[in-house]
Amino acid sequence: MEIKRQIRSTPQVGYAPYRQIHPHSTGNSRSTAQNESDNQNNNRPEAFFTHVVGNGEIIQIAETGRGAYDVGGGWNYETYAAVELIESHSTKEEFEIDYRLYVNLLRQLADEANIPKTLDTADLSGIKTHMYCTYHQPNNGSDHIDPYPYLNKWGVTVDQFEKDLANGFTESGSNTSNNENEETQKPKTKEEITMICFYQVDKKGPVYYFDGQSVRGLAHQDEQRVLNDIYRANNGKDIPTFQWTSKAPWHARLLGVVNRKPMK
């Protein structure tokens, strides 16, 4: 795997052993991998991530095994590597190429650091998404839920990501493609049920709105009110609201399940 090195010196954050790899996505629908590297090199005082994957390439901008200020909380001190995936893909093919690089890189880094290739488990050691860190790390100050919404946008579920990280890819093609083939063979039924809800985690922090395809944090209570008003006018009832806890992060599973059938 070719890794372009555009390294600059970064402070050490925390102390070895660094027990986690953190998958992220950039949240920027326009930037290239090189933009992200340049931005990091020019504008950020500390290491925010170690690698960025995009446009068919991997750029490493900081050394691994030094911690990083990437998850906004106590697990900054556990960061062996923080890997960003760009969000500017315009086709599934473009996404697939980078997704495979992303997964392969995460797997390679985990092997290198002797970190288990598990996704978002309760053990301190493993691969932890930024979303999982947000809901589980001590002293959390982050509200980010990447990379799930972006992976979901291209049809990669939580389960799929977990499997790909554990097993890698077969010669015959990516597991996502296989999964998609299975899906397309199923008979199509007309689905009338709207899968919409609000949810909140641990009864604090932002209320999230799930519109059936993606999740957004709401900035203000009035946003929840107006969405609910429209929904009630159309459906005669309120949007269901769920309270979940960080101990049982069902919201992460929700992102996986509902997007299992990629929309065309």
Give backbone dihedrals phi and psi of 121, rounded to 5 degrees, phi first: -95, 170
Q: Cα separation of 218 and 206, whole Å?
A: 6
Dihedral over alpha carbons 121, 252, 131, 135 (to 10 degrees): -70
Q: Which residues contact 15 (CB under 8 A, 6 or more apart)?
A: 77
Q: What is the DSSP letter of 241?
A: E
User: Which of residues 59 and 239 has its CB atom nearest to Zn ion in the complex?
Assistant: 59
Q: What would the two tokens of residue 23 be?
A: 């998958």
Q: What is the largest CA-CA distance in the chain?
A: 58
Instruction: Return left, alpha or beta for 72; rule: phi > 0 is left, psi -120 to 50 is alpha, else beta.
Output: left
User: Which of residues 58 and 239 has its CB atom nearest to Zn ion in the complex?
Assistant: 58
Min. distance of Cβ 9 from Zn ion in angstroms? 22
Min. distance of Cβ 151 from Zn ion in angstroms? 12
Min. distance of Cβ 55 from Zn ion in angstroms? 19
User: Which of residues 117 and 130 has its CB atom nearest to Zn ion in the complex?
Assistant: 130
User: Which of residues 36 and 146 has its CB atom nearest to Zn ion in the complex?
Assistant: 146
The answer to whether the peptide bond before residue 249 is cis (omega within 30 degrees of 0) is no
Question: For 201-218, b where at least 16 C-beta lie within 10 A, e where not — what string?
Answer: beeeeebbbbeeeebeeb
Min. distance of Cβ 85 from Zn ion in angstroms? 10
Enumerate binding residues for Zn ion (CB under 5 A).
24, 130, 144, 146
Min. distance of Cβ 225 from Zn ion in angstroms? 29
Min. distance of Cβ 10 from Zn ion in angstroms? 17
